[in-house]
Amino acid sequence: MRTTDVARHDEARCIWPARAVLGEGPFWMATEGALYWLDIPGRKVHRLELQSGAQASWDTPLRIASLAPRRSGGFIAGTERGLAFYEPRSARLERLLDPEPEHPHNRCNDGKVDPQGRFWVGTMDDHEEAPTGGLYRFDAQGHLARIDEGYTVTNGPAFSPDGRTLYVNDSPRRVTYAFDLSPDGAASRRREFLRFDEPHGFPDGMTADAEGGLWIAFYGGGCVRRFSPDGAWLAEYRLPVAKTTSVAFAGDALDRLFVTTGRDGLSAEELEAQPLAGGLFELTPGVRGVAPVPFAG
C-alpha cells in the first residue's frame, strides 16, 4: 500500500439505525429508486427508498450473504447452502447448486455482477478458520466456474469501470488481490494489490467509482478508505462504529455512498459506546459510482 497525503473525513450520517447483527451486501436498484441491503445472521433483507425514505424489511429462509437483481425478475442470492433465486416479498427461494459440497462447513459470502451480467461470488469457512473458500463465476446459462481457491473469508468482489480488473479480498489475511479480467470472464495474473497492517482492520466489502478509485470498508477499522488504481491511499472516511462491512454507490446520479455496519461480537460496553452499530450510513464521496448491471439470467 502506497500512502500519499490522505484526505480524512468525519461526515458519515446514520440514515437507518437498524441494529443489524451483520449488515452487508448493499446494492442500488435504479428501477425502484431503492437501496437494498442484508443482515446475514439476522436473516433480513432491508429496502430503503431514497426519495421517500420508506423502509421495508423481509425475513429470509436462509442466511443470505449476497443478493443481486436478475434481468428476468427477482434476485440471485448467495446463501449458506449455495446459490439460489429469491424473491423477498413472497419468500420464494429456488435453490440452484452448492459450489462446494465437499466442504459442508463452507457458505457463500459476498457476490457482485460483472459488466457482462455474470454473478461472481466467494465462499468462506463458516468458522473463519480454514482456507477452504474459493471464488466462482456463474453465468446466465447456469455454468459455474471455480476461478480461485485457498481463501478463508472471500470478500468483495469489485470491478474496475472498464471491466478489465477484478478485485477480491481475503479478509483474515488482510490482502486485496487484483486479477486481469477478459470480456469472456477469464481471470488471470492474480497479484497482491494491497496489504494492510493490523491497526487498519480487515478489508471487507468494496466497490469502484467511475474514476477507477477503489472504496473498501474495513471491518474493525471503523472506516471506509479510497485507493487509486495504482494502489495509493487517497482518502479515509471515519464512522462512529467499529465494524464497517460494505459500500455501494446509489441515487439517480450515483453520487451517494452507503455503508453497512454490524454489531456482532461487541461487548456491552462497546455497544453502549457505539449505539449506532448495525446501522446504515451515508457518505458524500465527491465522485460517482458505476451503474450496476443485473444478472443476465
Would you say residue 36 has pLDDT above 70?
yes
pLDDT band (50, 70, 90) for residue 1 = low
Any idea where the domains of the chain sit in the sequence?
A: 2-283
Instruction: Tell the CATH topology of 2-283.
Output: Neuraminidase (2.120.10)
**Beta bridge pairs of residue 263:** none
Helices and strands of the chain, counted as H and E runs: 1, 25
Enumerate the known binding-site residues for substrate.
Answer: 107, 109
For residues 108-132, b (16+ Cβ closer than 10 Å) or e, as one string? bbbbbbbbebbbbbbbbbbeeeeeb
Enumerate the known binding-site residues.
Answer: 24, 107, 109, 155, 204
According to the model, what pLDDT value does residue 7 have? 78
Determine contact, residues 131/122, Cβ cutoff 8 Å: no
* 230 classed as catalytic: no
pLDDT one-digit tens code per residue, 252-286: 999 999 999 999 999 999 999 999 999 999 999 99
pTM, entire model: 0.96
Determine contact, residues 235/9, Cβ cutoff 8 Å: yes
Would you say residue 213 has pLDDT above 90?
yes
Q: Which of 110, 114, 204, 209 is catalytic?
A: 204
According to the model, what pLDDT value does residue 5 have? 73
**Beta bridge pairs of residue 24:** 38
C-alpha cell at 149: 481457491
pLDDT one-digit tens code per residue, 90-129: 999 999 999 999 999 999 999 999 999 999 999 999 999 9
**Beta bridge pairs of residue 248:** 258
